[in-house]
Structure 1
Amino acid sequence: MQFSAGTDVTITISRELPRQDGVIRLLEMSDAYMASLYPAESNHLVDVSSLEGDAVSFFVVRRDGAVVGCGALVAAADGTAEMKRVFVDPAARGLKIGNLLMAKLEDHARESGFSAIRLETGISQPEAIGLYRRSGYVEIGPFGNYAADPLSIFMEKRLD
């Protein structure tokens, strides 16, 4: 998927392997950001090895070839997918990359036959929460292996 974000900027989103330098850099930035907001017990990040699993579809956003965003869908046994590791490089924010990435993940989920996408995010991320709400996600209770956490918000978007 390729988009033009102006006359001289090209944004691409494609399914790629997560173990590459640009992605590792983004995941490290995401880890540091989450650690600055939440205690370890409220951080539900998955590592790069987990992102390489058979049940994972990992997508990379590039701006003129450079990695500027990423996100994954993890298939669950109940026919839903969980969105994980959605992150956009702060230097690339304002280009609507989050919106483009969300649309790509949702398109992939529909094509894969998932009935819904679920996610967990933290209460101290108003920009992410706003993006999810604008994209049609609604709050739900904890799902999967998550326990209730006052620092977490659980959301879902039905695709059927």
Structure 2
Amino acid sequence: MTFSIKRTDSTDPDFVELVRHLDAELSRINGSDDAFYAQFNKIDKINHVVLIYDNDRPIACGAIKQFSNTAMEVKRMFTLPNYRGKGTASMLLKELEKWAKELDYKKCVLETSARQPDALALYRKNGYQVISNYGQYIGVENSICFEKEI
């Protein structure tokens, strides 16, 4: 497999399509909690999107958006099921961190679900530390928040 990386924004049709798959998967995982999380996952104003391609096929996506003056929040991480376990998510995360650093941010933060063991393992493997839940996730039992200095 030959993977390539593309930086773009949330208007990219490949990103929109991958997010459609992500939202369907999250809806199954989150069940009755889905509406709560969905309100924080709009993609209309994301200026920093990374896509990974296998030849010409878009297979993974992720994004960062400003969280504070020093931090970017990682959002909308997704890899097509057939491509999981091949290192694409770590590649994606590293590119997002690199971009955030180029923009002079000092760290990345993110939220994921306790119901997503693969995501939890990915973030831990890539040096993210669990932090207290922030913002809208304070008091949300299913949410686990992370941060990493970049």
Shared fold, TM over 0.5: yes
The residue type equivalent to 2:13 in the other structure is D
The residue type equivalent to 2:128 in the other structure is Y
Give structure 1 regions of 4+ aligned residues with deviation exceeding 3 angstroms.
none
Q: Answer yes or no: is the 8 Å Cα contact 1:11–1:63 preserved in 2.
A: yes
The residue type equivalent to 1:157 in the other structure is K
Question: In the alignment, is residue 43 of structure 1 matched against residue 43 of structure 2?
Answer: no
Please identify which structure carries the higher helix content. Answer: 2
- Structure 2, unmatched stretches of 5+, are none
Corresponding residue pairs, total: 147
Aligned partner of 2:111 in structure 1 is 120
Q: Answer yes or no: is the 8 Å Cα contact 2:130–2:147 preserved in 1.
A: yes
Answer with 124-133 or 11-20: which moved more: 11-20
Q: Distance in 2 between matches of 1:37 and 1:145?
A: 19
Question: In the alignment, is residue 29 of structure 1 matched against residue 16 of structure 2?
Answer: no
Give 1:41 deviation, angstroms.
4.7
Q: Answer yes or no: is the 8 Å Cα contact 1:42–1:152 preserved in 2.
A: no
Q: Distance in 2 between matches of 1:50 and 1:147?
A: 24
- Structure 1, unmatched stretches of 5+, are 1-8
Q: Distance in 1 between matches of 2:81 and 2:128?
A: 23
The 5 Å alignment of 1:1-160 reads 9-38=1-30, 39-44=33-38, 45-51=40-46, 56-159=47-150
Report the identity percentage. Answer: 27
Residues 6-55 of structure 1 show CA distances to partners (whole Å, capped at 9, x for unaligned) of xxx2211121133343322211111111111111254254223132xxxx
TM-score of the pair, normalised by structure 1: 0.84
Residues 100-149 of structure 1 show CA distances to partners (whole Å, capped at 9, x for unaligned) of 11111111122211111000000011111001001010111122443220
The residue type equivalent to 1:49 in the other structure is D
Q: Answer yes or no: is the 8 Å Cα contact 1:42–1:149 preserved in 2.
A: no
Q: Answer yes or no: is the 8 Å Cα contact 1:82–1:119 preserved in 2.
A: yes
Please report the RMSD computed on the Cα atoms of aligned residues, expressed in angstroms: 1.6
Q: Alignment partner of 2:137: what SS? A: coil
Q: Alignment partner of 1:81: what SS? A: strand
Give 1:75 deviation, angstroms.
1.4
Give 1:89 deviation, angstroms.
0.8
Q: Distance in 2 between matches of 1:113 and 1:21?
A: 28
